[in-house]
Structure 1
Amino acid sequence: MRSGSMRGAALAATLCGLAVLLLGACGTQVAGQDDPASAATALPWTLSAPTRSQIHGAELGADRRTVTIAVDVPSGPNPCVRDLEAKLTEPVGNTVPVQVTFTSPSGDRSSGCSRSVTAKARVTLPEPLGDRELVVGYPGAVFTADDAPLPHLRLCGDLGCTPPATGCTPGSYEQAVKAVDSPAHTYRDAEHCDGKWLVLDISWPTGPVCGDPESGTCAPHLGDRWFYKAEKAGWKPFFRTSAGGCRDVQDREPAFPTALCASLEPLPPALHPTHSPAP
């Protein structure tokens, strides 16, 4: 009996030891430690807003009050966006400002939220949009229902939703300069305009880039001469040249009026071909 009791006690001690080891091992296991989704949850989620370039469109509902906004948001193998929403902020003048926000861990590179996907946020205006402009974000992307292919709202350009009408005006010339994607600090040298056709000489400063002030590439400014035709959306460039007179431009567009090109002098040598079609 005594030896049996001793064997029983030894077995009980062994089982207790095994139980302690097993429980100890379970105690060191952290739930979700190897789970990517749980790891992502542990990352800091911060409030974010899409930039102007990440706002791709807006649609107006049949009630003329519901607006659905398409924006780029972070994307990756784990959840990357929460609480995507659009909120109406304080109206200013003839504008309806809306702010789109979401929370995301994308600020931490370990989140894996390195891609993007288009998502939609919806907001209901207190009254129909009408002829007011919808401004999403700050600085904002501006949309209007005026002359828009509804239900899609029209995204307005750098000159606003109602740019200056094509004509012989300073505002119209500014639109023409932007249309040729000219360098920063470009300024106009001369304009020849009849309302349907336009010749625009533009220049921009360059400064000494080679250390040789006698070199043509180090001239204080370079210039272009662009020829435009009036279109519904504004001045449309169709030809560029440094030559004077009418021959080159009328070879390209015979209808171009002689009165606007006959007196043109050649431009000084510049870093562009003698003539080229507009892009």
Structure 2
Amino acid sequence: MRSGSTRGAAPAALLCAVAVLLLGACGTQVAGRETSPSATALPWTLSAPIRTTGAELADDQRTLTISSDVPSGPNPCVRHLKAVLTEPVANSVRVQVTFDSPSGDRRSGCTGTTTAKTRVRLPEPLGDRELVVGMSTVFTTEGAHLPALRLCGDLGCTPPATGCTAPSYEQALKEIGAPAHTYRNAEHCDGKWLVLDFSWRAGPACEDTTTGACNSHVSDRWFYKAGKSGWKSFFRTAAGGCQGVQDREPAFPTALCASLEPLSPSPSP
């Protein structure tokens, strides 16, 4: 009798062991699904476009269509896209484009970009006012091929004419990304070619102007050629005279470089 009971208990124990393993495996899979990032609700937050790429003005002179780069991916990445008028400033119309997106979390898959369009209607015709989208993207009807508005550059919608003028020299400094608070030392210009010497502070910020440490500065020299949209840099050197620049550009006039003195290689007081 005991032998028969033992033989019957063995299959029962085996079945219990298999059941435990199966249930354990199922439990592991369910737990995995519950913690999977794809099943986790990601937060949708208020966002602004990566950049604004274009604007069009309808025939009614009031309806604006604004094109912006927004996040994209295999799942929905943008909702509630809208353009809203904000307070006008000076001779401009200001518009803010916003949308909701989960792109702040890379698990959303919203790592690409696509172009999206949204419309806003002005209370009155745009006229000759500039359109400012966001903080600094500016469009104008001046010189535009309507219905598309013209996107203005870093120098504004009406950049200074290339020439031997202070605004044109400022454009030349921006063209090479001169440091903030740069000041011009000398300009040699004939309308087609330009040499620009400039300096910027290199010492610590302090009020004591009696020591060289507070007044030290670094000097630089750039050479430019006039282009269709402003001065275009082509050479940089601290050397004096004409040899370096004329090796690079033989047509550069000697009258603009013959009197150039070498620049100091280290900060000067």
TM-score by length of 1: 0.67
CA distance in 2, matches of 1:93, 1:45: 35
Q: Does the 8 Å CA contact 1:36/1:78 hold for their aligned counterparts?
A: no
Name which of 91, 111, 114 aligns with 1:114.
Answer: 111
CA distance in 1, matches of 2:59, 2:232: 35
Q: Deviations over 1:248-274 (max 9, x none)?
A: 33444444333322211122337xxxx
| Alignment correspondent of 1:232 | 228
SS at match of 1:199: strand
| Alignment correspondent of 1:244 | 240
Is 2:146 the partner of 1:147?
A: no
| Alignment correspondent of 2:94 | 97
Amino acid at match of 1:47: L
Kindly state the Cα deviation for residue 109 of structure 1 after the two structures are TM-superposed: 4.5
| Alignment correspondent of 1:50 | 49
Kindly state the Cα deviation for residue 142 of structure 1 after the two structures are TM-superposed: 0.8
Kindly state the Cα deviation for residue 122 of structure 1 after the two structures are TM-superposed: 1.9
Give 1:1-279 correspondences, 5 Å limit: 39=39, 42-50=41-49, 54-137=51-134, 139-206=135-202, 221-269=217-265
Q: Deviations over 1:129-157 (max 9, x none)?
A: 332111001x2211112123444322222
SS at match of 1:236: strand
| Alignment correspondent of 2:16 | none
TM-score by length of 2: 0.70
Identity rate, percent: 73
SS at match of 2:262: coil
Give the total of aligned pairs: 225
CA distance in 1, matches of 2:105, 2:264: 53
SS at match of 1:92: coil
CA distance in 2, matches of 1:128, 1:228: 42
Does the C-alpha gap of structure 1 residues 76 and 180 become closer, same or farther in structure 2, counting only changes over 3 Å?
same
SS at match of 1:264: coil
- Specify every segment of 5 or more residues in structure 1 that has no aligned partner in the other structure, as ranges: 1-28, 209-219, 271-279
Kindly state the Cα deviation for residue 161 of structure 1 after the two structures are TM-superposed: 1.3
CA distance in 2, matches of 1:36, 1:64: 47
CA distance in 1, matches of 2:45, 2:265: 54
Kindly state the Cα deviation for residue 110 of structure 1 after the two structures are TM-superposed: 4.0
Does the C-alpha gap of structure 1 residues 238 and 94 become closer, same or farther in structure 2, counting only changes over 3 Å?
same
RMSD of the TM alignment (CA)? 3.2
- Specify every segment of 5 or more residues in structure 2 that has no aligned partner in the other structure, as ranges: 1-29, 205-215
Q: Deviations over 1:227-263 (max 9, x none)?
A: 1223332212222222222333344444433332221
Does the C-alpha gap of structure 1 residues 243 and 90 become closer, same or farther in structure 2, counting only changes over 3 Å?
same
CA distance in 2, matches of 1:115, 1:253: 43
Kindly state the Cα deviation for residue 167 of structure 1 after the two structures are TM-superposed: 2.8
CA distance in 1, matches of 2:86, 2:188: 45
Kindly state the Cα deviation for residue 116 of structure 1 after the two structures are TM-superposed: 2.7
CA distance in 1, matches of 2:247, 2:107: 60
SS at match of 1:77: coil
